[in-house]
Amino acid sequence: MGDVAVVAGGDILQEKMEKEINHVLVVPFPLQGHINPLVQFSKRLVSKGLKVTLAVTKYTAKSMQDRPPATSSSISVEPISDGIQEGEIIPDEETYLDRIKVNVSKTLTDLIIRLNQSSCPPKFLIYDSIMPWALDVGQKLGLRGASFFTQAYSVNAIYYHFRRGEIKVPANSENVTVPPLPTLSVNDLPSFICDPNSDPALVDLLLSQFSNFQEADWVLNNSFDQLESEVVNWMSSQWRIKNIGPTVPSMFLDKRLEDDKDYGLSLFKPDADTCLTWLDSKQPGSVVYVSFGSLASLEGEQMIELARGLQMSGSHFLWVVRDLEWKLPASFIEETSDKGLVVSWSPQLEVLAHKSVGCFMTHCGWNSTLEALSLGVPMVAMPQWTDQPTNAKFVADVWKVGIRVKVNEGGMVSREEISECIKEIMEGEKGTEIRKNSEKWRDLARNAVDEGGSSDKNIDEFIAFVASN
């Protein structure tokens, strides 16, 4: 390059430099918990010299313009379409999934054709694993493919075996063995495995991740090696599958990317000032942060038990209630105004990093789990569906960074149980042990993405592969 710089004229040099940049195209599925890890991975690639184009639906692109991702100067954002028109109510799941496949395939094809005509065409398509058909789109147009999994390795292993008919859940069975995972009770399995007929469209979507992943040149996963070492060893002995996480913004982990303080994209508007000012007024470690992510919604009776359980625990609480249509007990907000704050969306990372937060009551979505692990916040695990029960099992029994609530015979988590679990973490003996473990995992998470850590090396390996192909 140095020689060329002397010989070549400005335009020629510019063109040559552009050609030499390795360009990848990244396509997340348009859900908050899927966009965040792919955007964060994109930032890491950019920080290591890759050019990234992020193809997102128009609605997602619009929310990125409101809060552009930091360190994104080299991330170009290109809109693709999921077939939903502005103002249109999102149809039922099955129709939406069909529409997204047809429309993303078409608009992604158009985008790749256009980018292929540029001076720096993309070499790789990094696509969300729940859009396995994107691999065909990219391969037909000359791109290599990397499937990006946004769930735990253990969950990958369970879906993989289930799809192959290797996991059967007999009626009334108590335990299931899925080597090399620890023995799992039926309640630890992803919800759809126990009841595949509960949501056939979603089951198909989740299992489809494994339909062609062996045909991708790379498989990337948002986890880190030490977290799930046995299952990582088993899977990586069979496929080129690499952990590159946790994909939490750098300033909450290794602090190497100075501007990376935020995911930079929120499909919902956070009540940041209200949350942080309120937290500032509380004692260190005194607040329970409660959130069930962007999708789950609690039934009416469960909402009441949760509200009363928070009240009974005596702790301060910051509770994300996404939709106030979810019924809180009458006058709950007024009654608890000296103890609690209820918001519709929070700046979750800043909240978890705040010194006043002593525990996170979570549904154990994979991003929330990784965020709590990365920030060393003990958890009360209250899983709802999909992969959350499996994540909760690992939180409570393998990593020992939290307590999982018990569900009673009526399928409810009682107010007493909620209150006891919170007290155990905030004040109990078990809480002290859990806090120590949380600090250990926080350090391991940070080391994984820091220079020379396992995920950092895997990212470098991926980049070297892109460059050499």
Choosing from 34, 316, 354, 363, the catalytic residue is 34
The answer to whether residues 363 and 340 touch, using CB atoms and an 8 Å cutoff, is no
Residue 317 touches ligand UDP, criterion: CB under 6 A: no
Tokens of 378: 């003990």
Residue 315 touches ligand UDP, criterion: CB under 6 A: no
Establish how many alpha carbons lie within 13 A of residue 293's alpha carbon, considering only the half-sphere containing its beta carbon.
Answer: 25
For 282-318, b where at least 16 C-beta lie within 10 A, e where not — what string? beeebbbbbbbbbebebeeebbbbbbbbbbebebbbb
Any alpha helices (H) in 153-263, and if so which ranges?
153-163, 191-194, 200-208, 229-236
Q: Which residues contact 39 (CB under 8 A, 6 or more apart)?
A: 28, 54, 69, 75, 263, 264, 265
Residue 438 touches ligand UDP, criterion: CB under 6 A: no
Among residue numbers 163 through 222, which ones bind ligand UDP (CB under 6 A)? Answer: none
Stretch that binds ligand UDP, among 41-49, 109-117, 328-336, 340-348 (CB under 6 A): 340-348
Nearer to ligand UDP, 124 or 148 (CB): 148
Residue 69 touches ligand UDP, criterion: CB under 6 A: no
Separation between Cα atoms, residue 50 and residue 25, nearest integer Å: 10
Q: Which amino acid is at 28?
A: P
Length of the chain: 469
- Least Å distance between CB 197 and ligand UDP? 22
Tokens of 426: 């905030």
Separation between Cα atoms, residue 443 and residue 461, nearest integer Å: 23
Residue 371 touches ligand UDP, criterion: CB under 6 A: yes
- Least Å distance between CB 344 and ligand UDP? 8
Residue 309 touches ligand UDP, criterion: CB under 6 A: no
Nearer to ligand UDP, 209 or 367 (CB): 367
Among 209, 313, 348, 419, binds ligand UDP (CB under 6 A): 348
Separation between Cα atoms, residue 153 and residue 230, nearest integer Å: 10
DSSP character for 353? H
Residue 366 touches ligand UDP, criterion: CB under 6 A: yes
Choosing from 3, 92, 110, 128, the catalytic residue is 128
Residue 128 falls in the annotated catalytic set: yes
**What SS3 string covers 195-223?**
CHHHCHHHHHHHHHCCCCHHHCCEEEECC
Residue 245 touches ligand UDP, criterion: CB under 6 A: no
Nearer to ligand UDP, 37 or 145 (CB): 37
The answer to whether residues 376 and 438 touch, using CB atoms and an 8 Å cutoff, is yes
Among 57, 223, 367, 455, binds ligand UDP (CB under 6 A): 367
Stretch that binds ligand UDP, among 32-40, 70-78, 253-261, 405-413 (CB under 6 A): 32-40
Residue 41 touches ligand UDP, criterion: CB under 6 A: no
* Angle between helix 454-467 and 429-449 (nearest 10): 30
Among 346, 414, 419, 458, binds ligand UDP (CB under 6 A): 346
Residue 40 touches ligand UDP, criterion: CB under 6 A: no
Q: With CB under 6 A, what is the number of residues at the site for ligand UDP?
A: 19
The answer to whether residues 153 and 221 touch, using CB atoms and an 8 Å cutoff, is yes
Separation between Cα atoms, residue 400 and residue 358, nearest integer Å: 16
Residue 320 touches ligand UDP, criterion: CB under 6 A: yes
Nearer to ligand UDP, 111 or 290 (CB): 290
Residue 295 touches ligand UDP, criterion: CB under 6 A: yes
- Least Å distance between CB 278 and ligand UDP? 14
Nearer to ligand UDP, 53 or 294 (CB): 294
The answer to whether residues 268 and 344 touch, using CB atoms and an 8 Å cutoff, is yes
Among 33, 79, 329, 428, binds ligand UDP (CB under 6 A): 33
- Least Å distance between CB 111 and ligand UDP? 26
Nearer to ligand UDP, 111 or 375 (CB): 375
Residue 34 falls in the annotated catalytic set: yes
Query: Nearest-CA neighbor of 247 among 371, 156, 64?
Result: 371
Tokens of 316: 């301060």
User: Nearest to ligand UDP by Cβ — which residue?
Assistant: 365
Q: Which residues are catalytic?
A: 34, 128
The site for ligand UDP (CB under 6 A) is made up of 32-33, 36, 270, 291, 293-296, 320, 345-346, 348-349, 365-368, 371
